[in-house]
Structure 1
Amino acid sequence: MDPHIIFLGGFGILMLLVAWVPVLIKRLPLSLPIICIAIGALFFALINEKGLQPRNYPQITEILTELTVIISLAGAGLRIDDPLKWRFWADTSRLLSITMPLTIAATATLCALALGFPWATAVLLGAVIAPTDPVLAADVQVGPPRSGTSDGVRRSLTSEAGLNDGLAFPFTYLALALATHGLTLGDWTWHWFTVDVLWRILAGAGSGWLLGWLLAMFMFHSGRLSLASTGQGFVALGGTFVTYAGAEAIHGYGFIAVFVGALALRSTQEEVHDYHIRLHDFTEEIERLLMMMLLVMFGGALVGPVLDGLTWPMAGVGLAILFIVRPLAGMIGLIGSRMKSRERAVVSLFGIRGVGSFYYLAYATNQQTFGEIDSAWTLVSFIVLVSILFHGMTSGLSMEWLDRRREAARRRARR
């Protein structure tokens, strides 16, 4: 049989599994990402004993992961029903301004001192590992549009994932600058702060809001010519790509622009329009399809050499980042939050790592030469694997536990 026929048949089976598996595992401590990785590992073990090595294809890895993250960020923004008021976003600001920098600093220090990585590579790993992943965090995020005001845990994790993927970029640029100039301060420091930090963040947020508002005008306020009247879900992709490209054209962060643009679209006076649900559903379907492809390939990489360089010290550092650094940084960042202690603990623990980490690592690899970069790929692959397994098996149970506790508290309050 021709290879392309086998590919088409196999791809069709995988697409059917994406739709079917969530129903099969609904009551099991499993997740769709875990199943996709298992399928990829089994498939590549049967047809190619060498597996895949994403390190050898950084350009392809960067493009595929970038596309997946962009679409996922748009979906995250479209899901948030909560108004743009401080009391709803205070916890998010704490996670972004305190938890994320603490995680980057602690990760970089561990990688430099415990593993002996060059500081440029260590800082890169801090930037790569710090963002929570919007692609793999579906079980701990808010529901579809118009599903009601969300609880603090789901809202915090959704909004954090929506923004910190873009906010990891300044630290990625810092790692690139350190790889070029070393640890000596110079003119590059001022350029990094003014351009890579201030301008790119503000340009991304500003252009995202403007383009999101303009899209809302075309969708809902153009009379018979409105895009909403078409009922086409792929408009979500068009708007997402235009917003991303518009921000990047003025050297802003496109990831930030896409999420902010989706928030702007949802905050219009037509936020209750059924078309928001159509846009979200189409985005979610494309996101799942891309996620499936990437995780199947990641499973194929696991049967190859991607973890061959893993050592016990690297494994220890990876576990410490997931189960010590992130939880502690999260609890510190959420000091003063109105969430209960158990809710703060869940938010701190569920800093899921995934597709975004591979994007930043591939992006940096394509831009500059880093020392110990093969070990960096190994460490990131290990962390992502453990995160997918642990968070995939515990996220649903944890959220159900929190929901039961809230319902019990509401019943007691009514008595």
Structure 2
Amino acid sequence: MNYHEFLLFAGLAIVCAFWLPRFVSGREPASSSLLILAGAAVALAIADPPPLFDPVADPEWWEILSEMAVIVALFATGMRLDVVRPFSRWRATGRLLLVAMPLTIGAMCLVGLAAGWPLASALLLGAVLAPTDPVLAGDVQVGPPTEGGEHPVRFALTAEAGLNDGLAFPFVYLAIAAIAGLTASEAVTWAGYDLVYRILAGVVVGAACGWLLGQVVFRWPGHNVLAETGSGVLALAGVLVCYGATEFVHGYGFIACFVGGLVFRRVEEEHAFHSDLHLFNLAIEHALTAVLLLMTGAALGTYLALVTWEHVAIAAVLVFVVRPLFGWLSLAGTNLDPRERWVTAAFGVRGIGSIYYLAFAAGSVAAMPHVGELWMVVLVTIAMSAAVHGLTAGAVLSRIRADEAENEDRHTSAPGPEPEPVR
């Protein structure tokens, strides 16, 4: 398959993936699964798959495309949050980040060890698969800016996806260091530099960039603000500034992009320009995601003979056991009712972020043990998550919207206090 043939295939596959579900339902979540299936079908149909379909041998393009998709999605995720106070709204998110994610990393590390992998590769497996995805999880997250209706489940999943991609990075670096042979002094350096400094740098630089960008767009000069131009490309500019500046000082750019979008939105929370920026970011995000899903399916088709029951079992353990179990346990004591806890715990969508982490690690280590096995598990996990979560997200979202409408009706119809009698 040459370059132009790939373009033809990609265009037709994307159109069909979004068009065909219309014959069955008004919802589009199934498009993710259809894109993966289309990629697998074309890889199986051609005799000589191109290098782009082989991330084990050539992960560079996978890293570049997934990195751009994730940072665009993270900035947009930060912008979408309408109400961030009181801070008690973040309680469920904090539990998912500080309890569920480390437990997931540990559990998947144990699964890797049980499969016979060395400790470093097992740790990388846990780190790569731990974060939920800000790209593919959009269907169960909050809506566009100023739309409102931020159900606690949607808020928790959105905020979690915005932060845990960056918070998984220290464990990826730890696994890379362990592959090279981690010493005691290097472990101390990792704790101080990779775990503490780079997270703090991501938060501080992201907040500073978001605030400065907000002043440039909404405040300076006051008589002719840039927001009046309606140019959505400023959203991409904000992403690039936050990410580039943070990486320049060796912070975590993923964290910076989410925090930057969050702080940028706070400068002028209700300005209509946020909708323009969101639509522009969304178009870029969807385009890159569609291509990456086609590549994921194509890689699965290319490697189909190498996929074993162990790869499927590891993916199933994460999707059906580890994430739901630890998500449920971590949310104990929050203000979510049992059904909301279950939905929040179960919808830990895996996707583009896992591709980036593995491609990054593969490009950072000259000879990574079990790299092929890691790719098989990640690709199978993404396909399984796209099928399970994508095909059920519409129904879950409908239920959440019904709950939101019911709560709103109950609030508006509640009787007010009786007037005092006239004396």
| Cα deviation code 1:248-298 (max 9, x no counterpart) | 011100000000000001111x21111100000100011000011111111
Contact 1:50 1:303 (C-alpha < 8 Å) held by counterparts: no
Rounded Cα–Cα distance in structure 2 between residues aligned with 1:217 and 1:334: 37
Aligned counterpart, 2:171: 171
Alpha-carbon offset, residue 354 of structure 1: 0.6
Unaligned runs of 5+ in 1: none
1:198 equivalent in alignment to 2:196: yes
Aligned counterpart, 1:248: 247
The amino acid of 1:298's aligned partner reads T
Alpha-carbon offset, residue 351 of structure 1: 0.4
Contact 1:208 1:243 (C-alpha < 8 Å) held by counterparts: yes
Rounded Cα–Cα distance in structure 2 between residues aligned with 1:276 and 1:336: 35
Stretch deviating more after TM superposition (293-302 or 137-146): 293-302
Alignment of 1:42-81 (within 5 A): 42-48=41-47, 50=49, 52-81=53-82
Rounded Cα–Cα distance in structure 1 between residues aligned with 2:169 and 2:368: 17
Alignment of 1:124-139 (within 5 A): 124-139=124-139
CA root-mean-square deviation: 2.3
Aligned counterpart, 1:321: 318
The amino acid of 1:358's aligned partner reads I
Aligned counterpart, 2:333: 336
Q: TM-score, normalised by structure 2?
A: 0.91
Unaligned runs of 5+ in 2: 415-423
Contact 1:120 1:176 (C-alpha < 8 Å) held by counterparts: yes
| Cα deviation code 1:339-370 (max 9, x no counterpart) | 11110101100100011101100111111132
Rounded Cα–Cα distance in structure 2 between residues aligned with 1:345 and 1:233: 37
Structure possessing the higher radius of gyration over alpha carbons: 2
Rounded Cα–Cα distance in structure 1 between residues aligned with 2:145 and 2:98: 27
The amino acid of 2:351's aligned partner reads G
Alignment of 1:126-275 (within 5 A): 126-182=126-182, 186-222=184-220, 223-268=222-267, 270-275=268-273
Contact 1:199 1:252 (C-alpha < 8 Å) held by counterparts: yes
Alpha-carbon offset, residue 233 of structure 1: 0.5
Question: Residues 156 and 48 from structure 1, CA distance in 2 versus in 1: closer, same or farther, beyond 3 angstroms?
Answer: farther
Match of 2:391 among 364, 384, 393: 393
Aligned counterpart, 2:417: none
The amino acid of 1:336's aligned partner reads G
Moved over 6 A (4+): 409-413
The amino acid of 1:337's aligned partner reads T
Rounded Cα–Cα distance in structure 2 between residues aligned with 1:331 and 1:4: 46
| Cα deviation code 1:141-164 (max 9, x no counterpart) | 100000114011000111100100
| Cα deviation code 1:186-220 (max 9, x no counterpart) | 10111000000100000000000000000000000
Aligned counterpart, 2:89: 88
Question: Residues 25 and 214 from structure 1, CA distance in 2 versus in 1: closer, same or farther, beyond 3 angstroms?
Answer: farther
User: How high is the sequence identity, in percent, across the aligned residues?
Assistant: 40
Rounded Cα–Cα distance in structure 2 between residues aligned with 1:132 and 1:26: 26
